[in-house]
Structure 1
Amino acid sequence: MMKFFAALLCVFSGLAHAQPALLTDLALPYLASAPAQTPSGSAETPLVIFLHGYGSDERDLFDIKEDLPADYTYLSVRAPLDVDGGGYKWFSQDTDAADYEGVTRDVDASTALLTQFIEQASKKYGAKPDKVVLIGFSQGAMMSYQIGLQHPELVRGIAPLSGKILSALKARLKTDDFKGLKVFIGHGTADTRVAYTGATDAKGVLDNLNLAPEFHAYPGLGHSINGSEISDLNAWLKSTLGSEAR
């Protein structure tokens, strides 16, 4: 468990396992890991796509797969915008907002790129939409809401960790057919980067949309991911997508 947790705390430190080569054949750069028995994927092979947070990159969440079902295909995407000093971001923060919000033009541009990426990746790896799940942390969590609540036809579920629904997205939402979208929300109660209220507010929005998210609060956890959250996420993935025993 500790190897992925260390990667989250120090994303640019050495990883416990050598990473595969960065791939650039789709709309965004990414890392990929597919089951050995089905290297090109199949219509029944679940596809999980990781979306990292601000100032990080595609390596950040990738080792979490070691504690998730072995029979899935995993991709980890690099956000399109550079951060001064290193790393990448999905959008610039709106410094005029009282809470954590994104510059809408950045968010919309990244949403369009991510939509294209998911469509391309699903085709390349042979995954039907009902076998695709997004797992996002921080800004990546916010991007998972962008996709799930605006393009539910692309995914079976989303797992926003330490995130929130951005105000601009809330203003666009309306009761609609969300294609049976499944949602896992995880957030530390001691998060000072993206407030825990972002998770509780998101749950309220989703409840009003009749989406009934699976909600997990982690007492004392800051802006990070711990072993309990990974264990809960693993169980949710198996329930949502199915899996061989690991």
Structure 2
Amino acid sequence: MFEQQDMSTMEVFTRREVQAATIWLHGLGVNASDLNAVIKNLSQSREMGLHYLAPNAPMRRISVDEERPARAWFDVLGQPGEAPEDCDGIEESARFLVDILQREAERGIPSGKTVLAGFSQGASMALHVGLRHEQPLAGIIALSGELVLADELPEAASSANGNTPILMMHGQDDEVVPVEAARRSRDHLLALGYSVEWQEYPVGHSLSPEQIERIDQWMMDVLSAD
């Protein structure tokens, strides 16, 4: 059953009684509906009784796109690795996402039964928020994205999510976030002791049916764990 909680969040309840939650964060320039194809095809995990949430990022002007407005979790000030990061935008979005996590806990779904997932900019936010969250999550999924504020992570990370499983997937032909950038993020996480499952696919800045199938099984595994 699809419901629109408000103008900023798409919600899917797969059963009357939900057992777990997954929060999906879209990429730059699109909205929550961009994740419909993923959510609808997670056929195994939805049988568990899941609450899917896909919030919309706020509209903001994007510096590298001549200040044109777009939905984005943070501004893009220049080419990756060549420009400063939008720290204020990242932290503003992080506070918004932590509020969503807290609301899920208040409605009775513990953080240990919640997966935080995202694509592109959404993947960056999933990693940023998930690794800093003060309550343990079931898992973090980062699709076609990279770490932001990576140098701050050792000091900012929460021990609550030090052992949280992380699934990272990336297209070998990604023209938006080069696979080399994502590999550096993976290596940074591994060096800090995180548990990362890394997979590359022969696609661009997109998801294949094979990826969705693996995401489905991975979610089943982490959400079924004690």
In structure 2, give the amino acid aligned to 1:131.
K
Equivalence for 1:48: 22
Q: Kindly indicate whether residue 170 of structure 2 is the aligned counterpart of residue 187 of structure 1.
A: yes
Whichever structure has more helix as a proportion of its residues is: 2
The CA distance in 1 between the partners of 2:80 and 2:197, in whole Å, is 29
Q: Kindly indicate whether residue 90 of structure 2 is the aligned counterpart of residue 107 of structure 1.
A: yes
Equivalence for 2:50: 72
The CA distance in 2 between the partners of 1:199 and 1:213, in whole Å, is 12
> Retained in 2: the 8 A contact 1:31–1:77?
yes
Equivalence for 1:234: 216
Where does 1:76-87 land on structure 2 (aligned, <5 Å)?
76-82=54-60, 87=70
Q: Kindly indicate whether residue 13 of structure 2 is the aligned counterpart of residue 34 of structure 1.
A: yes
| Residue 37 of structure 1, CA deviation | 3.3
Q: How large is the Cα RMSD of the aligned pairs?
A: 2.4
- How many pairs does the alignment contain? 214
> Retained in 2: the 8 A contact 1:34–1:73?
yes
| Residue 154 of structure 1, CA deviation | 5.2
In structure 1, give the amino acid aligned to 2:120.
S
In structure 2, give the amino acid aligned to 1:198.
A
TM-score normalized by structure 2?
0.85
TM-score normalized by structure 1?
0.78
Equivalence for 1:58: 32
Name structure 2 gaps, 5 residues minimum: 62-66
> Retained in 2: the 8 A contact 1:30–1:76?
yes
Where does 1:1-246 land on structure 2 (aligned, <5 Å)?
20-24=2-6, 29-38=8-17, 41=18, 45-68=19-42, 69-70=45-46, 71-82=49-60, 87-95=70-78, 98-99=81-82, 102-124=85-107, 126-151=108-133, 153=135, 155-166=137-148, 168-174=149-155, 177=159, 178-219=161-202, 221-242=203-224
In structure 1, give the amino acid aligned to 2:132.
Q
Name structure 1 gaps, 5 residues minimum: 1-18
